[in-house]
Amino acid sequence: MSSVPLPESPTPTAREEHNAQQAQIVAQQAATTIEAGEPYGNFSDDGYETDQDSTASTSISSSVRDYAFENGRRYHSFRSGQYQFPNDEPEQEREDMKHAMIVNLCGGKLHYAPIKEPQNILDVGTGTGIWAIDVGDEYPSAEVLGIDLSPIQPAWVPPNVKFLVDDCESSWMHKPNTLDFIHARHMVSSIKNWPKLLNQAFNTLEPGGWVELQDIQFKAHCDDDTIKDDYQLEKFLRLVHEGLAVFGVDAASVLKNKQLLMDTGFVNVEEKIFKLPVGTWPKNKTMKMIGLYMSSVVNDGLNGISMGPFTRGLKWSREEVEIFLIGVRKSLKDTSTHSYLPFHVVYGQRPLDT
Ligand SMILES: C[S@@+](CC[C@H](N)C(=O)[O-])C[C@H]1O[C@@H](n2cnc3c(N)ncnc32)[C@H](O)[C@@H]1O
């Protein structure tokens, strides 16, 4: 018996339409005000799904496999001490969860810079490489390079994606005027010298190429006065700032990204700010799901985020950190506090005549 091919659907399915509507509502609320609802209500199953079946053909090459251990966590050893957060399995899972959360918040977008048929993409501080792999799938004709201090990327990746162990704060070895897109996400807690990094990005981009920075501001906000003075999450975020400052990292520099890009000489600079809810307090189901992701990302990361800055930087003992975190965990469960962290997307273009 011959099989009859199914007709192609000429119009979007009801589910696709529903998903598109949801993405619109989320984008609108993330950019304005998130409506509060029942914290334990239903979740939608409309979340972004990452492609688990990417074609595999190329393995990464790196001999930097040594790690440092401290306070029960594993850290990078290449340029040891440069980055204050762990690189072990729990941290990698958390980074991948952050990726799903951010892509959801951005309605499925991996970037906002208006790149057209990119050929050479650089992902600075690629982490588990999840963004680089997804962008490699989205632009199969582009070569994507992800660089990081840690060789924690998967061994099998799409053929157009490569990884390299490298310190992005050192002098760049990439050929000048060659890249058409440079992306750096969640790097505000890492980079000490943004002007130097952005200058190197400018010179490495070809004229007309784009740079994009995506980062969370480590400060709890709310639109309805539900954050009280003793909100422990806010105290935690403040201490992370203080701990990172000891190492010359200004975590508040996310607020300067737009100006930094303009000062470097980038043009057509745009900034978008989205609200990232903490917890299940939003009414909208997708927002509620994003809030659940966010509280898990923070809860699962409390130990990893604080150990380096608090013990190395602020000289707390491991026990002092653990005791302090009890109160922070409690604050994350408090659904009467409608807090969110701003997520900043800034992109700009190297002028064509440079
Ligand atoms: C918070 S993670 C973000 C990972 C990735 N960008 C993402 O959004 O999924 C920061 C990453 O930057 C890397 N990193 C920090 N400082 C770096 C440096 N100077 N050069 C290269 N990578 C660095 C860390 O090893 C870590 O993997």
The average confidence (pLDDT) of the chain is 88
CA angle (81, 193, 251) in 5-degree steps: 75
Q: Is residue 6 part of a domain?
A: no
Cα of 141 vs centre of ligand 1, distance in Å, is: 25
User: Which residue is associated with the tokens 């000062």?
Assistant: 263
Residue bearing the CA closest to ligand 1, atom 13: 125
CA of 304 to the centre of ligand 1 (A): 14
Residue 303: inside a domain, yes or no?
A: yes
User: Hey, is 209 helix, strand or coil?
Assistant: strand
- Dihedral over Cα of 305, 306, 311, 313: its sign: positive
Answer whether residue 12 shows pLDDT above 80.
Answer: no
User: What number does the ligand 1 atom closest to the CA of 170 have?
Assistant: 19
For residue 344, list its beta bridge partners. 215, 273
The amino acid sitting at 304 is G
Question: What is the C-alpha to C-alpha distance for residues 71 and 44, in angstroms, rounded to an integer?
Answer: 38
In a domain? residue 282: yes
* CA 214 – CA 112 distance, rounded (Å): 10
* Minimum CA distance residue for ligand 1 atom 25: 149
**55 or 229, which is more confident?**
229
Measured in Å, residue 226 CA sits from the centre of ligand 1 at 33
What range defines the domain where residue 335 resides?
37-349
Contact between residue 233 and residue 278 where contact means Cβ atoms under 8 Å apart: yes
Nearest-atom index, ligand 1, CA of 127: 27
Average pLDDT over residues 240-266: 97
- Closest C-alpha among 36, 31, 16, 19 to residue 291: 36
Q: Which helix (H) or strand (E) holds 263?
A: helix 257-264
pLDDT of residue 93: 94
What per-residue confidence (pLDDT) applies to 37? 80
Is position 164 within any domain? yes
pTM of the model: 0.86
Which of 163, 190, 191 has most ligand 1 atoms within 8 Å of CB, for mutation? 190
Residues facing 183 on adjacent strands: 123, 212
Pocket of ligand 1 (CB under 6 A): 76, 82-83, 95, 99, 125-127, 130-131, 147-150, 167-169, 185-187, 190
Does any domain span residue 20?
A: no
252 within a domain of the structure (yes/no): yes
Q: What mean pLDDT do residues 24-32 have?
A: 81
Q: Give the pLDDT of residue 65.
A: 66
Residue 99 alpha carbon to ligand 1 centre in Å: 13
* Distance between Cα 187 and ligand 1 center (Å): 6
Number of domains in the chain: 1
Q: Give nearest CA residue, ligand 1 atom 14.
A: 125
Q: Who contacts 352 (Cβ-Cβ below 8 Å, separation ≥6)?
A: 207, 208
Q: Is the pLDDT of residue 286 over 70?
A: yes
Q: What is the pLDDT of residues 116-136, one digit of tens each?
A: 999 999 999 999 999 999 999
Per-residue pLDDT of 311-352, as tens digits, reads 999 999 999 999 999 999 999 999 999 999 999 999 999 999
The 10s digit of each residue's pLDDT in 149-175 is: 999 999 889 999 999 999 999 999 999
Is the pLDDT confidence value at 263 over 70? Answer: yes
Q: What is the mean pLDDT of residues 273-294?
A: 95
Spacing of C-alpha 59 from chain mean position: 24
> How far, in Å, from the CA of 276 to the mean position of ligand 1?
21
CATH number for the domain harbouring residue 329: 3.40.50.150
What is the number of the ligand 1 atom nearest to the C-alpha of 79? 19
Q: Is the pLDDT of residue 283 over 90?
A: yes
Distance CA 157, CA 131 (A): 12
- Across the strands, what pairs with 345? 214, 272
Atom of ligand 1 nearest to the CA of 131: 9
> Residue 256 has what DSSP assignment?
G
Q: Does 5 have pLDDT greater than 70?
A: no
Q: Tally the C-alpha atoms within 13 A of residue 246's C-alpha that lie toward its C-beta.
A: 15
Residue 246: which pLDDT band, with cuts at 50, 70 and 90?
Answer: very high
Q: Please give the Cα distance from 308 to 165 (Å, whole number).
A: 21
CA distance 211 to 261: 9
Look at residue 65 and tell me if it is in a domain: yes
Q: What is the pLDDT of residue 19?
A: 67
pLDDT of residue 44: 38
DSSP 3-state of 105 = helix
Label residue 25 by pLDDT band (50, 70, 90).
confident
Report, as an integer, the average pLDDT of 22-42. Answer: 76
Within 10 angstroms of residue 237's Cβ, the number of other Cβ atoms is 20
Nearest to 105 by CA among 25, 14, 18: 25
Residue 276: closest CA among 106, 125, 129: 106
* Ligand 1 centroid – CA 93 distance (Å): 14
The set of residues, in sequence order, having a beta carbon less than 8 Å from that of 353 and lying 6+ positions away, is 207
pLDDT, residue 52, reads: 31
Give the pLDDT confidence of 38-87 residue by residue, as tens digits: 765 544 333 222 233 332 223 334 446 678 889 889 999 888 888 999 99
φ, ψ (nearest 5 deg) of residue 346 = -130, 130
When pLDDT is cut at 50, 70 and 90, the band that residue 3 belongs to is very low
Atom of ligand 1 nearest to the CA of 130: 9
Report the alpha-carbon distance of residue 157 to residue 164 in Å, rounded.
Answer: 13
Q: Is residue 265 part of a domain?
A: yes
pLDDT band of residue 247 (cuts 50, 70, 90) is very high
Question: Is 302:328 a contact under the CB 8 Å cutoff?
Answer: yes
The pLDDT value given to residue 15: 56
